[in-house]
Structure 1
Amino acid sequence: MGTLTGRTALVTGGSRGIGRGIAERLAADGARVAVHYGSNEAAAKETVAAIGAAGGSAFAIGQELGVPGDAAALWEAFDRQTDGRLDILVNNAGIGASSAFGAIEEAEYDRLFAVNTKAPFFLAQLGAERLRDGGRVINISTGLSRAALMPDVIAYAMSKAALDIFTKYLSKVVGSRGITVNTVAPGIVDTDINAGWLRGNDEAWAQSAALSALGKVGTVSDIADVVAFLASDDARWVTGHWIDATGGSLA
C-alpha cells in the first residue's frame, strides 16, 4: 500500500515539467491527484493517462490563473470531481523569467505577482476549509529568491520571495490543525521550459551543472521526491521551512 493511499492531492501546473513529475510521484505513492492546467488541456490529459497507465488515479482541472476569481473557479471544478475534501495542496504553477529591471513594464510585473504570488495565496485561503486536519501545503519557489544569481529576473525572484514569506506565516495560521506548510526551492532543472537554452547547448549545460555542488543539472524527479517526502507522514514535524533543492547551488 502506498504512503498516500486514500488521500487527495491538487497539483497546480501539474500537466508539464516539475508539476507533472510531482503529480506522477504523488499518484505512485497512492494519492488521487487533481492535475491542474492553465491552457494546455492535451498535456494535462496526457499526464492523467500516464498516471492511469501506471496504476494510479488522476483527473484534470482547467483554470487560468492570474485572473479575477481564479481560485474560486478552480475549487468549484475540484469539488465537482471529489467529495470536496483535500489532503495535499501543491502550489506549483508559475510563470518564469521576466524582463530586466530597466525594461519590465507594469503589465508584466502585475502578471508575475498575480500568478506566482496572489493565486497561491487565495488557493490556500479558499482551500483551507477543504483541507483535512493533518494535511499538507507545499509551495514551489526558486533558489533565486535567496541569491541574486541572475539579476535580470528581479521581478520573478521578488514574486517567489513573497511566496516564501507566505509559507512561514501560513504555517502558523494552520499549524493548530496539524497542517504543515513548506517551500521547495529548485535550481536549474532539465524541463521543457528550459529546453530552448539548455538542451543541446553543451556550454550552457556545463555552466549550469557547475553551479551545483553535485556537478549536475537537476531532474524533475529530484524535485518531485522532495515534495513526496513533505507530503508523507515522515515529514509531520517539518513546517514553515524553506528547503533548498538546488543541488547545493547556494552552498
Structure 2
Amino acid sequence: MSRVALITGGNRGLGRAAAEALADDGVDVVLTYRSRPEEADAVVADLEKRGRRAAALRLDVTEHDAFPAFVETLARELRGRWGREDLDVLVNNGGYEGNTPFGGIDAATVDALYAVHLRGPILLTDLLAPRIRDGGRVVFVSTGLTRYAANPLFSVYAAMKGGIEVYTKYAAKALGPRRITVNVLAPGATATDIGGGLIRDDERYRAMITANHAFGRVGEPDDIGGALRAITAESAGWITAQRVEASGGQML
C-alpha cells in the first residue's frame, strides 16, 4: 500500500517541491491551497504524470473554526481515493513572510503571522494526530532566520517560526509512543516567489546573501524538497524532535 502525505500550501513554491520530491519517493499526495485552484490542479496533474495518485483540497490555515470540517473532508477523500482514512506524512508548510520593521510593527500583521505560522499548524496537527498512522512522520517548515538574525523586517515571522520549533519538541514527546517522528525543516535563503521573489530575481540581493555561504549559492526549491524527502523517509524513523536546517551552509 502506498504511503500518503498531506502537504499544506502545496500548490506552489516549497510546497510544490515537497510534493514532487515525495511523489518521486513513491508517496501519494493530498495538497492544500488557499487560493489559485488552477495551480493546485496543475500540481495534481504533474504528480499523476509521475505515476502517483493525488488530490487537492482548499484550506485556509487562518480559518481555524473550519478545521474540523476540513478533517472530515480529508477523511472522505482518503476513503474514496485510497480506501483508508489515515495519513503517513503530514507537512505543515503553508505560510508567508510578512514585514514587521522596528518602529512600524502593527498588531494586525502580528496577529496574521501568529494565525498562519503558530496557531494554525498547532491546531491542525492536534486534530489530525489521531489520523496519522503509527510510525508516521510530521514535519513543520520553519526558516533559517531562527538561527541567524538577518533583516529586521522578518523579526516577527522568525519569532513565530521559533515558537513552532519549540512546539515540535513537545509534539515529538507526545507522539513518540506511537513511533511518529516530529521534526522541523528550516530552509535557508531559497529562490521562490516569497517576498515578491526577491531572492529568486534580484541578483544583487542574492550576491549579498551568498557572500557568507559555504556552497556559494542560494537554495532552489528542489534542494528543500530533497531534504524533506530524507527526513520523511521510512528509513528516518530514529530522527525526531530535531531542527534540520537545509541552507547549504548559510551564515557559517
Question: Under a length normalisation based on structure 1, what TM-score does the superposition of the two structures give?
Answer: 0.94
Runs (5+) with no aligned partner, structure 2: 79-83
Instruction: Find the counterpart in structure 2 of residue 28 from structure 1.
Output: 24
In 2, Cα distance between equivalents of 1:31 and 1:192? 26
CA contact (8 A) 1:186 1:244 kept: yes
- Out of 5, 10, 21, the position equivalent to 2:6 is 10
Deviation of the 1:103 alpha carbon? 1.1
In 1, Cα distance between equivalents of 2:196 and 2:158? 21
CA contact (8 A) 2:97 2:195 kept: no
Instruction: Find the counterpart in structure 2 of residue 99 from structure 1.
Output: 100
CA gap of 1:215–1:70, structure 2 versus 1, over 3 A, is: farther
Q: Is 2:210 aligned against 1:209? A: yes
CA deviation digits over 1:137-168, x for unaligned, max 9? 01100011122112221110111000100111
Larger mean Cα displacement after TM superposition, 66-75 or 173-182: 66-75
Deviation of the 1:98 alpha carbon? 2.0
Instruction: Find the counterpart in structure 2 of residue 197 from structure 1.
Output: 198
Larger mean Cα displacement after TM superposition, 55-64 or 94-103: 94-103
Runs (5+) with no aligned partner, structure 1: none
CA deviation digits over 1:64-84, x for unaligned, max 9? 111231432331221121032
CA gap of 1:160–1:78, structure 2 versus 1, over 3 A, is: same
- Out of 62, 68, 80, the position equivalent to 1:66 is 62
CA gap of 1:234–1:68, structure 2 versus 1, over 3 A, is: closer
Deviation of the 1:200 alpha carbon? 4.2
After superposition, where does 1:79-98 map in structure 2 within 5 Å?
79-82=75-78, 83-98=84-99
In 2, Cα distance between equivalents of 1:120 and 1:193? 19
Instruction: Find the counterpart in structure 2 of residue 160 from structure 1.
Output: 161
After superposition, where does 1:87-236 map in structure 2 within 5 Å?
87-194=88-195, 196-236=197-237
CA gap of 1:139–1:68, structure 2 versus 1, over 3 A, is: closer
Q: Is 2:51 aligned against 1:50? A: no
Give the residue type in structure 1 aligned to 2:104.
A
Instruction: Find the counterpart in structure 1 of residue 81 from structure 2.
Output: none
Give the residue type in structure 1 aligned to 2:58.
G
Q: Please state whether the residue corresponding to 2:211 is helix, strand or coil.
A: helix
Would you say how many aligned residue pairs link Structure 1 and Structure 2?
247
In 1, Cα distance between equivalents of 2:165 and 2:176? 16
